[in-house]
Amino acid sequence: MVDMVKKFLKYREKLSTLIHYAIEYDGEVAKEAFKIIEQWKSREIKYSSALRKIKNLKRKTQQ
């Protein structure tokens, strides 16, 4: 029971971090960021990859 709660809290923390970065964008970039989050939620990509991809979107918008 305690392990399940710990896993849930860790999942929620990671999800909130990804969303924190994703809401900085607007338009097509925001859609792309939330697609990356969906990929992470479905376990297609790892958390570190999702975070890196979302942060890289920021670099693309600044250029």
Beta carbons of 49 and 14 less than 8 angstroms apart:
no
Q: Rounded to 5, what percent of the chain is helix, strand, coil?
A: 80, 0, 20
Q: What is the pLDDT of residues 4-62, one digit of tens each?
A: 999 999 999 999 999 999 988 888 888 999 999 999 999 999 999 999 999 998 777 66
**Number of folded domains in the chain?**
1
pTM of full prediction above 0.85: no
Distance CA 3, CA 1 (A): 5
Q: Which sign, positive or negative, has the C-alpha torsion 25, 31, 20, 49? A: negative
- The Cα angle at residue 18 between residues 14 and 19, in degrees rounded to 5: 115
Tokens representing residue 46 in the block: 């790892």
- Which range of residues forms the domain containing residue 26? 2-62
